[in-house]
Structure 1
Amino acid sequence: MKKLILIILSNLIFLTIQAAPFYELNDKVYKDFVQTVLFSPTDEPLQDPILHLNGNNTLNLSFDILGNANSVYNYTIVHCTYDWKQSDLQPIEYINGYQEDEIRDFQYSLNTLTPYVHYSLTFPGENLQPRLSGNYILIVYDTRNDAEHLLFNRRFMVIDDKATITAAIPQYPKNPDYIKTKHQVDVTVNADNSLLVNPNQSLNLVIKQNGRWDNAVVGLKPNYTYTDKVTYEYDESTVFEGGNQFRNFDMKSFKYQSEFIKEIRQESDCFSVYLWPSKRRNNANYVFERDIFGRKLIKARDDQESDIEGDYAWVNFFLDYPLPLMPDNIYIIGALNDWNLDEKSLMTYNFERKGYEGKLFLKQGYYNYLYGIVEKGQSKADVSTIEGNFWDTQYEYSVFLYFRMPGTAYDQLVGYNLIQSHYSN
């Protein structure tokens, strides 16, 4: 009886929250003392956070809180539409169990210049589970779920496999102007008739290049419909910049300078790392170099436990550029800043050095990144002007299929596939 009363009270609290959201529906860190938020399938740190509805797989969430003080943090989840808006559902409709739960597992950092407390959570747990497929935001907060106490958000998905997705990137796109420079993603969806009765109304396709949401194709409709499948084959709508292989630096140890690190300095409370100046690659020939598709891998030396012995550094970036691009901006792009185009990843022009500089506070590990230009008033970055544009580039593309059943108020995630540029899958 007591547990039932607690669930009812919890539902009432979250009905109010649902009516007036004060959080962003993306990957967002609200407090500077929160660092290195990781959310991925358990034991698969380089994969996206995707659960299978009624399956046994779990996700691992971890993060660091700078300083020496520990606390008990809380979290909840919010269901979203295919385009990451809040669904017209109440929490009791998409959550099994309580509407919030606690994060209690923590460890203190050990032998680091930067002190922190490392937190971890296996999700879903016994007290809170998603009950519907679709897009979700996990929200972590301190004491109360309001704007003042928010720590961070993370996207994740729950899939209920009902369709088979195949995708390929042809060497010769429909538009001849894009040959050798761009990726045209052609998609075929096979499903039974219940999903294909009115596909232009009920289906929405989303294509994401690597981890980027700024250039994702969202809400695409099929252009050909058959009895057992639909296809998405467009001249423009599914075309992405070919770009270039990601730049990288290896910061797993502060005892030596790896290939792209010029200097490492030990400060009083952290390290300072200076990368060698970067050059534009738009006029250079394509060179394949294996990468991790823009991700980050948190890893210290082999004799260290990365979670609690990994230290922090201010990593300094510099891009040679003869003149500033006023009024446009240049950003550092990758998982090292959660793929966000924000003040942290924004670079500033140094007239004395004739180039753009920026810095990020990062934990020991291996990192990928690119440089991108965002025109004034736009939200999508162009990487080709700095990095080049090559069809040969090996990128990952995530394809998601959403289905809105007539008479329902939410988008089911019914299909998913992850492909690499030059392997049809």
Structure 2
Amino acid sequence: MKKIGLIYFMITCYFSAFAQYPVVVYDNKVYQPNIKTIECYNSKKEQSLPLIALKSGETITLAFDDLKGGNKNYSYTIEHCTYDWKPSKINQLDYLESFKEDIIFNYRFSFNTLQKFTHYQLNLPNDQIKPKLAGNYLLKVYEGNNPQKIVITQRFYITNNAVNVGSEVVPSSQVEFRNSKQKINFTIFHPMPITNPFMDLKAIVMQNNDPQTAILNTKPTFVKQGSLVYNDINLNEFWAGNEYRKFDTRSFRYKGEHVQDFYRDTAINVILIADQPYGTARYSNQFDENGNFFIRNQDGRDNVTDSDYADVLFTLNANPPSSIGNAYVVGRFNNYILNEESKLNYEPTRKRFYQNIKLKQGLYDYKYVWVDENGKYNNTIFESSFFETENTYQIFIYYKRPGGRWDELVGFNSVNSLKK
């Protein structure tokens, strides 16, 4: 009996040790509350889509802040994924021509800020990590050389540009949505033979880099010699939405755009002007960054290390659209993730939604969305939707060769609704 009890105790301890580690999800996610301001983009342009061409010399930049400060031993690796962001289940030797992991050596400490932090940054590919296949990749950052102590997962893309993509943005095919939706038609021009496009090709269309809006295309409308046409009247229609709301916290010496007030106690607090749902208001043309954010600082010399953090209060004066559901504030600053941090609290007596989010100094785009009891995502109920809205659409083309074991990203195109 003592032996059985000892075995049971050892098994319990074994599983308890693993239970303390978070489960890795194949999405953009932060696993520790002290990790803030994750940026991932093509190094040529700040806040661009994290996509590069295979063996082109281009790099992906990943940067983040650790609010616990100090110097931690953060490591990273990458994993090849399927078109729908699941593990490709191929050996690392198949998609890496280098080492399988490396340590982040590039870090800097904050300077003259109320919130102390350490800023980490890396570029991929590099001398240690070199992918050799096109496709979707998940970048994993973990602590102490222990892959189970995951800190960040971030998606990025590598294309081999084996096919070309032509695209256009047109009004909805349905008369009732002509003034509120935008439709994407596109054509794939492929120099290599594609035996079965209905099985081997997948195309994904996304609006403003927001994964919540992604639409999967599996069947071309027309198959022609050297080209595949996707223009089905019932596919790739998006709510055009509205221009993003925005605010400016580049300085804590004066009130920037959409800032009602700010004050200091143990931390810096920023109160944004209360937002109203647009309802039946007419479309108003205003410049935005299609959901992006930019770390900027007018109070110091360095945007990265001199920019401080503030608890930013978002307020939306609106009633819940239905009795069950949740409102969220989203943008590229939180990767459009619907979690407890982005979820708004509701105050019935004042008929308002509100939430405090810790954000670094800078320029931010954001919008409000509603998710009902069935999990249906609605990004127009507070923002309205107008065909005139300027949006950027991303089109990803994936190809799995006959007998192949992985999905390649063989083509990509980005089209703007206003630029012909």
Global fold match (TM > 0.5): yes
Shift of 1:52: 1.0
Q: How many angstroms apart in 2 are the aligned matches of 1:206 and 1:57?
A: 23
What is the CA–CA distance in structure 2 between the aligned matches of 1:323 and 1:101, rounded to whole Å? 47
Q: Counterpart of 1:78 in structure 2: which amino acid?
A: E
1:90 corresponding residue in structure 2: 91
Instruction: Determine if contact 2:62/2:122 at 8 Å carries over to the other structure.
Output: yes
Query: What is the aligned-residue RMSD (CA, Å)?
Result: 1.5
Aligned with 2:256 (options 248, 255, 258): 258
Deviation at residue 188 of structure 1 after TM alignment: 1.0
User: Residue 156 in 1 paired to residue 156 in 2?
Assistant: yes
Structure 1 stretches lacking a partner, 5+ long: 1-20
1:322-380 deviation line (CA, Å, top 9, x unaligned)? 457321111112112111011111001112321111121100010001111111131x5
Q: Aligned partners of 2:299 and 2:391: how far apart in 1? A: 29
Residue number in structure 2 paired with 1:222:
220
Query: In structure 2, what is the equivalent of residue 30 of structure 1?
Result: 31
Question: Which residue of the partner structure matches residue 406 of structure 1?
Answer: 402
Superposed CA offset, 1:188-228 (max 9, x none): 1111242x321111110001111211120124321111001
How far the C-alpha of 1:107 sits from its partner, in A, is 1.0
Deviations 1:87-108 (A, max 9, x none): 1211111111111011011111
Secondary structure class of the residue paired with 1:201: helix
1:136-192 Cα shifts (integer Å, max 9, x gaps): 000000014443x11001100000011111111113x22212111101111111112
Q: Please report how far the alpha carbon of residue 72 of structure 1 lies from its aligned counterpart in structure 2 after TM superposition.
A: 2.1
CA distance in 2, matches of 1:324, 1:404: 43
Match of 2:142 in 1: 141
1:169 corresponds in structure 2 to 169
Q: Which position in structure 2 is the counterpart of 1:54?
A: 55
What is the distance in 2 between the residues matched to 1:401 and 1:146? Answer: 31
- Quick one: which of 371, 393, 397 aligns to 1:397? 393
SS at match of 2:381: helix
In structure 2, relative to structure 1, the CA distance for the partners of 1:87 and 1:324 (3 Å cut) is: same
Tell me which amino acid in the other structure corresponds to 1:207. V
Letter in 2 for 1:259: E
Structure 1 runs of 4+ off > 4 angstroms?
A: none
2:213 counterpart SS class: coil
Equivalences for residues 267-346 of structure 1 within 5 A: 267-268=265-266, 270-301=267-298, 303-322=300-319, 325-346=322-343
Which of 200, 213, 236 is residue 234 of structure 2 equivalent to? 236
CA distance in 2, matches of 1:258, 1:52: 38
| Number of residue pairs matched by the alignment | 399
Instruction: Kindly indicate whether the alpha-carbon contact (under 8 Å) linking 1:168 and 1:422 is maintained by their aligned counterparts in 2.
Output: no
Deviation at 1:121, TM superposition (A): 1.0
Give the match for residue 381 of structure 1: 377
Distance 1:163 1:43, change over 3 A: closer
The code of the aligned residue for 2:353 comes to Y
Q: Which amino acid aligns with 1:409?
A: R
**TM-score normalised by the chain length of structure 1:** 0.91
TM-score of the superposition, structure 2-length normalised? 0.92
Instruction: Give me the whole-angstrom Cα distance separating, in 2, the residues matched to 1:254 and 1:42.
Output: 29
Instruction: State the SS of the aligned residue for 1:394.
Output: coil
1:306 maps to a residue whose letter is N
**SS in structure 2 of the partner of residue 93 of structure 1:** helix
Contact 2:270 2:310 in 1 (8 A): yes
How far has the Cα of 1:43 moved from its partner? Answer: 4.2
